[in-house]
Every structure is written in C-alpha cells, then in structure tokens.
Structure 1
C-alpha cells in the first residue's frame, strides 16, 4: 500500500472528513499480480483510442475551457447510446460526480435519500458528503441481491427526495428488470412524489458474448435520471468521463450550474477521446464481451469445483460478481486468516465490507486480468482457501 493510503488507513479510526473513509481507495495504489479486485474489463491504451476513427485532427485540438454541459459531439454520441435527445445529456467526471451533483441539487437539510446496498462506496459516501440523510435498504446474498420492493416502500416518505440504485449492481453484477423499475416508480409517486430515481447504468453494456444488452432506462420517466461512464464496459476509467441523462429542463439547468461552480467543465482532451470511443463503441465492446463470456465460464467452473467452500451469485452483466466463504467451512478466525493470507499469494480481492456487506463476502473481478492469468489467479485463490481453512 502506498504511503498516502497507509496514512489514511492509520488515521481512519479518528476520521473526521466530510466524506467517510473507505479502504476501497487502496485499489488506486495497489495492483498485485493476481488482481481479482478490479471491476473493469482490461484497460484501453491511448494508442488504441487514437487508432479509432474520428481523431485525425486531434493535434489541432485547442486546450481551452469546454462547455459546462459537455462537448456537443460527446453529448450526441451519448444520446445515441442511451436513445434520448442530446439536449438531455450533462457530462460529468465519472458517474460518482453526477450523483454528487444530483444530491446537492435535489436534497436540502432534512431531506432523505433511499439507497439500495451493497453498493459502490462513493454511491453512498457522496450522498453523506453532500449532507443528505441516507436510508439504506440492504439487499441479500440469499435472495441473489434482487431488488426488495417491500423494504424500499417501507423506507419511502414525504422526506425522500432521491432514490438511488445501480443496474447492473456493483458489486454483484445483478440487473434489475424493467418491471421492477416500473413498480418502484409507482411506489415513489405514491409515497414520495417529489423524489428522483437515480439509476447507475455504468456496467449496462458489459454483456457476455452475443447475449442481449439491456436497454437504458433513460427516457422511461421524467423522474428518472440515469448515470454511466466510459470507465467499465469500455475500459477507459482514466478518461474520467461520465454523464447524466436528465429529462427535466429545470433540473438539468441547475445541475449544469452546479457543475460549473465545482469543476467548470470537463477536460476537452478527455471528452474528445471519449467521443471517438463512444462513436466506435460496438467495435470496442464486441471483443470485450467475448472475453467476458469466456472468463465467466472459467469462473463458473472454478466455483463449481469449490462449491463446498464458496457460494456465489452469478452476475447478469459486468466484469464482477459476489462470492461468499461458506459458514460451514470458515469460522470467524478462518475468515480473518483468509484475508491476511492474500498478499502472500499475490492476490487482491475487494472485501464485502467496502460495499456494506460482511467480510465473508468479496467482489471478484474476472475481466481485468489477461485471459492467460485468470486461471493461475483462481488457482492461487484455491491455495489461499486451503491455507485459511487449515
């Protein structure tokens, strides 16, 4: 772990920052040989993006300020992917910033947000950092992390101004059906008529092989705001380019002004590269989807072989899923020993505690390592299980 992360970890027990401390920050500093902690597919290189159509004149790009709403060409490319008008798009530096801006604008002191967990830590912590009171609805491993509409309904009130969920979810890769989203909208309009439903679709296009890609929820209802980015399915998290789809013109204007005051605009270079990437997304996504399908099959075979020690929830999309150490094979001491043994096996996993789960659960990313390294990484994980259970 780097000196910065180590210092943050050392001080975390006395943490007094506006945003809660979370050990997931270590993923920015540590990258072990068998990194099964990352949730992205393999990273694109700058050269791969520069080889895409549409960047022939990039040397003449002027590095002035961009538009606060985002470059027109980028918004048009996003609109094409989401099947909504380009005027409804606001670009952001990643999906998390979009949710933060949304929380700042739609919530005021005393308002509440309902959040489906487990979730990507910034999805919770940016709400807290914005001063919002958060009511978590914890989805269960036993129920396959499916949306629990009864528990969400019980959390809704006139104070609820924002409901937030991801589909596919991070960390599980489980998708929420259109039917459940429509039922949720009915519940919100009954109990929380002013609330916005934020749907994080970051992993939506990370499908498997030639399987169907779920459609975006953008444009389904005026109370829905969706968010996504080029980070996960397309493998370009370093471009820091995401977006919101916002049908309501007044809210869209407020969000654009909020963005201008916080970051002014996105990087014109990042947005130009992201535009080319989105315009060529099918040619980029197709080989990645084939790799994900093969990797998922390999992981499924490993899970079957380890079924006496491991349980898992098979994902619907994304390069990630949740696994759990079986309670009849690992007591609390063995679970702690498992985590302590991982560095010695060159392994990296994402602890369930980062996402609001127990430390018996971990997120495993199966798309980040090159195909030739996934098998050895899973073998190393079996060796760690052997040692922890001894």
Structure 2
C-alpha cells in the first residue's frame, strides 16, 4: 500500500467510526491530535521549550511595540524581518518571502511550480504536511523512502531512479523530521547534478527548520540557501527558537520571476503576515544568538540523558542518534516485540500519561516512534523516560501472560 493510501485509509476509518466519511482535499493524519492533546509526559512534540510572551518582550528591540499600528503588512514580509532572516541564511534580503510557517511556504511553492501532470519527488519519512500539502496542491508525488537500517542517510540511487523530465520539485528536510539526521553539502551537490541530468526544470526545496537546534560545541550547519539558484529553502521560528505560536516562517528564493509569482500566490491566500507576529519574530531573530545558546545547553543535557536511557534499554529499543533538533527516531526491537506487542505498547501509553509520535504519521512503521526530548522541562524528562520504561515493562508482562 502506498503511504498516501495508508494515511487516507487510516483517517477515513477513524472518521467513519464517528459516522463521517473523510472527503477532504488534504489527507487526514493523526498528527493533528498533537494540537488537542498534551499529556503530562509529552515526548511527542518536536520543538524545544516554548518561549513566553514575557521572555519575548524582554528582548532588545521591542521598546516601541506599544506604538505598532495593526494595519496590513506587505506580502513579501516586513523589511526588518527579511533582513534578519537574510543575515541568518547569508542571502540578500530581497530573496526572502515570509510565510505563515514552513508548510504554507511549501504549499505555495508546489501550487505555483507544479501543473497537472507534473511530479514531485519527496524524501520520507517526513513531517506529514510536507507530503500532504503536495497532495492537496494536486501534485503527483513519487516517494523516496529512507531506512532506519541505513540511519536515514540520503539515498541518491533511489532519488535518481525517481527523477524524470516530469519532475518539477524535489523536497527534503535537513535536519529531517522525524529523525534529526542532516544531509551533507556533498550529497546536496550530487543531488543537484542528478537533477541537472534527469530533471533540468526541477527545483530543490530544503526544509531547514531544525538547522540551528545544535548541541554543545557543535558548529551550526550553514544554510543551503545561497548554494545554488535552483535551491529554495524554508524555515521558521517554530522549532529551534521555540515560538511556533508566532506562525512566522519564510522561503529563500533566488529566481526573481518565481518570487513574484509566490507573492501573488500569498496575496491571494493570506494577503500578508501579522505585523505583530513579524515584529516579535524580528526581535527574536536579532537576538537569536543568546536565545539559541541557552537552548543548546538544554538540548545537549537532554540528549545525553536520552542517550543513557537508550543504552540502558538497548535490549528492547534501538535508535538513530540525531545530528540536530529536539527529536529522534526510536524503534521497538523485533526480537522483543511482535506486532501484537507493538499494538499493546501504543494502547498502554495513556495509562502512563505518555505521549509519543507514531512512525506511521511520517511514513514509517508503527514499530518506530518519534521522541521529542527538548519540549519537557529538564526535571520532567527523567520521569517521562522512566514512565516509558514502565510501559515497556508492562508490554513485556502482557506478552508473558499471553504465552
């Protein structure tokens, strides 16, 4: 079964249980539950800890916010915000278009670049809207599925086999969601060479939302924004900076004609961004050095704690250590959990106040889950991991009783 079929069937089944068949243009995905459910041990979220309005207002550059006029902004985004983004991505400010989150940027890009009969190549597993916005835009999607066994490293041979003259867009994330694995500059250059040969009209979209969520003394990877004019990057203040509620993201677009078309597309969908959100996001980006520094320390400690837990639980789980981000993929070992045990594991989570993100949401198996280690306060991560161990204990106990 194709991934899109699986998601739509899962969603339809869920909604039919409530007497309603799913008829949406966008596939239904259970990740929407994260907006409605927040259990005490929430290991499902992929953000770092949420900033408060008070913390934002304490940042430099917001002294005059009381005088901000709440009129329309521009479709491109405020000049100050685009300048701050340009500095972070090392591109001219004129190449930046602000969007309401990265997902909207990808939707507008796909809607404008692709026409009926065109194709997009999508690297999965991925954040569900990264796929579903393509489907909602009417694009035919060819999936390149990366594997847990190969540590979710980019498979250029698979991508090569999926490219065609019909390809107009290739989409991937670095670092990836759900794994936190980064793609190297060398692999991006090889991918661009393949696209030149096989799909000369295609653009490469790179979601860089987690790029600045690094650990310890690790050097933050440079943005791919200025590497090649065929590259469009997207990112936001949601993940590394902890401000998803601002709904402020962006695209970097080198091609002037495409930028003009995207501005018209944005004008006809959301008109402009919120001037208040953009003002706050500008201050956040201008102070991102200090904001990121404290978050990197928290992420480093949390990753160390998680690594120790994974080592202690190595007989029951295996993981792919992330390169960046507040997230990673963990898999229940096949030699310890059969399919029935995996189903019981998911059924038991709520009774332990636990929340995890199922691998099926992203195009992986139910045996895999995304674990977010940056969202909970430091004093709650240990108890949450202990609750996860208890869930594994009960799952095994159920298996023994059944035998």
TM-score category (smaller protein) = over 0.9
How big is the shift at 1:106?
A: 0.5
Structure-2 separation of matches of 1:276 and 1:109: 41
Alignment-derived partner of residue 51 in structure 2: 44
- Match of 1:301? 308
1:21 partner SS = coil
Structure 2 segments unaligned to the other structure (5+ residues): 1-10, 398-403
Looking at structure 1, the residues matched to 351 and 203 of structure 2 have their Cα atoms a distance apart, in angstroms, of 46
Equivalent pair of 2:359/2:367 in contact (CA under 8 Å): yes
**Which of 372, 382, 390 is matched with 1:383 structurally?**
390
CA distance in 1, matches of 2:383, 2:62: 38
Equivalent in 298, 301, 307 of residue 291 of structure 1: 298
CA contact (8 A) 2:174 2:183 kept: yes
Tell me what 1:10 maps to.
15
Q: Secondary structure at the match of 2:268?
A: helix
Match of 2:169 in 1: 162
Q: Does 1:107 align with 2:114?
A: yes
**CA distance in 1: counterparts of 2:330 and 2:21, whole angstroms:** 31
Q: In structure 1, what is the equivalent of residue 254 of structure 2?
A: 247
Would you say the 8 A contact 1:209–1:291 is kept in 2?
Answer: no
For residues 180-191 of structure 1, the aligned pairs below 5 Å read 180-191=187-198
Q: Which runs of 4+ in 1 moved over 2 A?
A: 6-14
> How big is the shift at 1:10?
2.9
TM-score after normalising by structure 2: 0.94
**Contact 1:175-1:316 within 8 A present in 2 as well:** yes
Q: Report the counterpart of residue 277 of structure 2 in structure 1.
A: 270
Number of equivalent positions = 385
- Which of the residues 324, 333, 337 maps onto 2:340? 333
Task: Tell me what 2:360 maps to.
Answer: 353
Aligned mate of 2:351, from 324, 344, 357: 344
Q: Residues 1-390 of structure 1: matches in 2 within 5 Å?
A: 9-11=14-16, 14-390=21-397
CA RMSD of aligned residues (A): 1.2
Q: Secondary structure at the match of 1:379?
A: helix
Report how far residue 207 of structure 1 moved: 0.1
Aligned to 2:8: none
Q: Deviations over 1:33-65 (max 9, x none)?
A: 000000000000001000000000000000000
User: Partners in 2 of 1:273 and 1:253 — Cα distance?
Assistant: 26
SS of residue in 2 equivalent to 1:253: helix
